[in-house]
Amino acid sequence: MTGGVQNITVTPEDDGVRLDKWFKKYYPGLTFGRLQKLLRTGQVRVEGVKTKEPGLRLVAGQSVRVPPLDREKDVKPAHEVSKQRVTREEAAAIRSWVLHQDDHIIILNKPAGLAVQGGSGTKQHVDGMLSALKDGMMDKPRLVHRLDKDTSGILVLARTQKVAQVLTAAFRTKDVRKAYWGIVVGVPPLAQGRVDLPLNKSHSKSGERMVVDELEGKRAVTLFKIIDQAGRRAAWLEMEPVTGRTHQLRVHMLAIGNPILGDGKYGGEEAFLPGAEVAKQLHLHARSIRFTHPAGGVFEITAPMPDHMKATWAYLGFDESSAPPPFEDDVE
């Protein structure tokens, strides 16, 4: 293993995790005794500050300095280190996705098919491109939430650690409202409804996925309403996740018998429209978001749909301009 210093951003998934547990998760070859020595000698830093406390709770968006670990085995972090260099093409691309930017936040319209963070076999991801958006700031913007790789739409970034802490906390509560647009196969029996089904991770030979688990699952709630429908073949939905579980909308729509169009992972063959001239991609888009801006006041923004979804809207005869404003109804 090469011995370079690494500065790794704490992911939203690891928000609140103890520093020693974080090292154990991503650096399994590093013994606790060795970690204690690194802490005592000031080689581990959080946000540039030396810490000797293994029980320190990390916050999403923080930067952890990991010193050279030549003597350890299997020390490469599971999520991989974000790339330090961004190509001109990548810089131009991520700048073109910016919908809004101020001194506190940046809003991106993430394209479908691009991962938010790195992982096994993932060479290109949003986190690895964020240094192109520093624009005079000392640090690159920080992720405060995630989107599935195949889901397009609004991704919120914090420009400072303080803002990252505020927004990460807001995303854990109902202080942030998100509206998604999607096409589902078939038409739900109700014009609008509420799905309240607990979700849990399931591991199998085919990989990890989320499933409805009434016994051990975490509560997950989704509100939905039909905006338009193409006969009984497909429906255009607006979906609002009240909770924020992984793949929540995809699993909940499948559970009510209407998989999201193009979601082969969960819906299999039932997630496609035989004979339809539409892209075989996931038709799920983070359309709108509303939250309290760190500088005060309510902030709301909407993201244009990706090309493959615009084409499907046209093919099915849906009129984007006919959609009602998001967040018309209060969440319970």
The catalytic site residues sit at: 148
Residues in a beta bridge with 125: 115
d(CA 91, CA 88): 5
Q: Which of 265, 252, 239, 264 lies closest to 212, judged by CA?
A: 252
Q: How far apart are CA 85 and CA 88, in angstroms?
A: 10
DSSP tally for the chain: helices H, then strands E: 7, 16
User: First-to-last CA distance in the chain?
Assistant: 51
Distance CA 65, CA 139 (A): 14
CA angle 263, 113, 206 (to 5 degrees): 50
The Cβ of residue 122 has, within 10 Å, a number of other Cβ atoms equal to 16
Q: Are 27 and 72 in contact (CB under 8 A)?
A: yes
How far is 28 from 150, CA to CA, in rounded Å?
Answer: 30
